Amino acid sequence: MAEAGKALAAAAKVRGNELFAKKTTEGYKEALLAYEEAILHDPEDHVFHANCAATHIELAADGWKPQKKVEAYARALLAARNCTRLGPAWAKGYVRQSTAEFELVAAVAKWEERKKQDEKWKKDDEERAEKTRKEGKEPFTSSFDKESDGEVEASLKLAIDGACLSACEASCRKGLELEPENAALRTRLQALRDAGHATEEAKDRELRNQAAAAPFKAQGNAAVSAKKWKEAQERYTEAMAQDPFDHVFYSNRSAAYAESEDYEKALADAERCVALAPEFAKGYSRQAHALFHVGRYVEMELAAKKGVALDAASTALQDLLKQAQAETTETVVVQERMHKLRQEKRQDAKLQDLMKGLGGNVQMFNPGGGGGMGDLSGLLAGLGGGGGMGGGYGGGGGFGGFGGGAKARMTEEQMRGMARAAASAPAAASAPAASGETVWESSTSAAAAPAATSFGPK
């Protein structure tokens, strides 16, 4: 009887693997049923539970409702725990367990953010409705009200409430005790570090493999040379997974993130770089460059000064210090407005590039080209800040008009003049800038920041 059950379980597993290989939502759902059938026939086989965990992870990734994603990751975590309980000497089980827990923590955070946003929208809707009623009008009622979250299953709630990054690290450590070179577990540990979790340094040093890291660094440098920024980021991350103590990896990945305009990540890597190697001058250039783009000019000046103290001959650091001091001589209000203007200039430049890419298709919604709201150019003008009253929606003749690309062409001097004028206005200290009066920064502008090419990998 037992042998017959194992045979049926094996057949169900094969069927599940074939369905899983389709890589579709329906395929994953059917694969899950097959793996669950295998468990019914042979509940002690840890691989079946691992496969269930993998399928729940894929279903969670395919979903979009925050609560459903959380529940799917929780199911994956429970299945993975069954796997490691039944097969504690199988490293792959800990890969599943650490993946499920890491993703569950992230999904819970996003769900909480969504609930806060939903509450804000609900409050805004109620305030608008009340205002409409006071005006003697009937408030608009949407027929697309948000579907309320249901109660989380009791069996999942414990897993959800207890999920944490420390437990994820513990799963990684158990797996690495079995397979010290397991790439998936090493990469998960690096993901924990990147998420802000402080992994255990002594154990990290035991795992350090500089020889294994070197090829990934070389591949990352090659990707930078080819301007393949995402690939470069991935290769440097793989290098860090082998050796999280090499400051150059963080310096190089910071530069790659900056090229992708992901400045918060660029800053985090730069900060890790200077923490690991406080005498490495280039780390401060990375840090100052990122701080400029997130609008933290006072800190930028301090970082640049530290770098110059280490390498006074560095043109990049001298330029960064000069730029920082140009900002810190301004009032805080002007600094804030300059940052806003630069952000909007970057956005407008991207929209201009999009329009160039569309070429003759810009008029596809209105072949007559009348410049009305049916014109795609007019539509994007609204998204980019819209034309001023003189230009209308489609004409792009006003200051903010998308068609003219006024924001993308603004110089640093023009933006500074606008920022100072706005800051000196009576309401400047209390009122935010109007959307029509702000503008945007191109990362290629020499006046705005030193050229990114001065930040090549080492």
In degrees, to the nearest 5, what angle opens at C-alpha 334 toward C-alphas 333 and 340?
95
Does an H or E element contain 53, and which?
Answer: helix 46-62
User: What value does the mean pLDDT take over residues 68-86?
Assistant: 98
DSSP 64-128: --HHHHHHHHHHHHHHHHHHHHH-TT-HHHHHHHHHHHHHHHHHHHHHHHHHHHHHHHHHHHHHH
Per-residue model confidence (pLDDT) at position 139? 76
* 280-338: pLDDT as tens digits: 999 999 999 999 999 999 999 999 999 999 999 999 999 999 999 999 999 999 999 99
| Residue 402 to residues 225, 337, 407, Cα–Cα distance (Å) | 33, 21, 8
Output the six-digit token pair for 34: 């097959």
**pTM, two decimal places:** 0.79
Amino acid at 239: A
CB burial of residue 270 (10 Å; 0-12, 13-18, 19+)? buried
Helices vs. strands in the chain: H and E counts, helices first = 21, 0
User: What value does the mean pLDDT take over residues 1-13?
Assistant: 90
> 3-state DSSP call for residue 205?
helix
Neighbouring C-beta atoms of residue 120, cutoff 10 Å: 10
Per-residue model confidence (pLDDT) at position 436? 38
* 153-204: pLDDT as tens digits: 888 999 999 999 999 999 999 999 999 999 999 999 999 999 999 999 999 9
Under the banding of pLDDT at 50, 70 and 90, the label for residue 347 is confident
Q: How far from each other are the two terminal CA atoms of the chain, in whole angstroms?
A: 64
What's the CA gap between 190 and 245, in Å, rounded? 11
Output the six-digit token pair for 38: 């295998």
Per-residue model confidence (pLDDT) at position 372? 44
Range with the poorest average pLDDT among 23-32, 41-50, 430-439: 430-439
| Residue 114 to residues 46, 121, 140, 334, Cα–Cα distance (Å) | 35, 10, 23, 33
What's the CA gap between 51 and 36, in Å, rounded? 9
What's the CA gap between 55 and 22, in Å, rounded? 12
* 80-137: pLDDT as tens digits: 999 999 999 999 999 999 999 999 999 999 999 998 998 888 888 888 888 888 888 8
Amino acid at 283: G
What's the CA gap between 174 and 159, in Å, rounded? 19
Per-residue model confidence (pLDDT) at position 322? 97
Per-residue model confidence (pLDDT) at position 131? 85
**Placement of tokens 């929209």 in the chain:** 351
Of 225, 221, 226, nearest to 238 by C-alpha is: 221
**Placement of tokens 């503008």 in the chain:** 439
Per-residue model confidence (pLDDT) at position 210? 98
Per-residue model confidence (pLDDT) at position 382? 47
C-beta of residue 256 within 8 angstroms of C-beta of residue 455: no
Of 146, 129, 145, nearest to 137 by C-alpha is: 129
What's the CA gap between 349 and 385, in Å, rounded? 12
Mean of the per-residue pLDDT values for the chain? 85
User: What is the sign of the dihedral through the CA atoms of 454, 442, 224 and 302?
Assistant: positive
Per-residue model confidence (pLDDT) at position 133? 85
Domains and CATH numbers, the chain: 44-121+157-207 (1.25.40), 210-328 (1.25.40.10), 333-356+372-437 (no CATH)
* 377-413: pLDDT as tens digits: 444 444 444 433 333 333 333 334 444 567 778 888 8
> 3-state DSSP call for residue 440?
strand
Under the banding of pLDDT at 50, 70 and 90, the label for residue 437 is very low
Per-residue model confidence (pLDDT) at position 140? 72
User: What value does the mean pLDDT take over residues 64-89?
Assistant: 97
Amino acid at 78: L
C-beta of residue 372 within 8 angstroms of C-beta of residue 393: yes
Alpha-carbon 244 to chain mean position = 21
Up-side HSE of residue 42: CA atoms within 13 Å toward CB?
Answer: 22
C-beta of residue 115 within 8 angstroms of C-beta of residue 167: no
Output the six-digit token pair for 265: 């990540």
| pLDDT exceeds 70 at position 363 | no
Of 79, 83, 97, nearest to 173 by C-alpha is: 97
Per-residue model confidence (pLDDT) at position 127? 84
Under the banding of pLDDT at 50, 70 and 90, the label for residue 361 is low
